[in-house]
Homo-oligomer: A and B are copies of this chain.
């Protein structure tokens, strides 16, 4: 169950067996069935976690009741409400499962404790954060400069596994367009070829 997590850490840092064992203790395995929640808007002190298996989404709900997806996460990704866990404020997002999933969850306090006990995790999380930051920046750039069609192509190219597994209406929400529009875009793409 934890081999995958270890391999994941070791992409960014090197770990002794002892340190890895210390780290593992902070993670709580959770099975989350399709439609169930890992995090609810308003929760406090929850962080999120590492996805062992399955697929989840992070989203918020606006005044009109519309969902807007900030991020998907599949195997070997992290998903969390960084803002609320860093500031200790109530969560602004929901995280729920699009497939039956397994998550190794980590709350805000455990993450801190882990960094204190095994300082190399300070580095690990910094590197994780850097990658996440860059991805967000790229997404902003795309939304500023590209057509909806181009953004959909980019998405398919950057995250092919997600594009295949996730329903079209969810991808539309991620891209900031309606499912109807995405359906039409896809149709035109087929006709062109």
Contact = CB atoms under 8 A, between A and B. Distances in A.
Contact of A70 (B130, B140, B176): B140
A143 interface: yes
Say how many copies of this protein the assembly contains. Answer: 2
Nearest to A173: B144
A144 B123 CA distance: 32
A48 to B, nearest CB: 13
Nearest to A126: B126
Interface stretch (A27-35, A131-139, A179-187): A131-139
A86 interface: yes
Contacts of A2: none
Contacts of A69: 144
Given A83-B137, A129-B126, A145 B70 contact: no
A171 to B, nearest CB: 13
B141 A139 contact: no
B86 A130 contact: yes
A70 B142 CA distance: 10
Interface stretch (A49-57, A60-68, A95-103): A60-68
Nearest to A61: B145
Interface of A: 60, 62, 66, 68-70, 82-83, 86, 122-123, 125-126, 129-130, 132-134, 136-141, 143-145, 173, 176
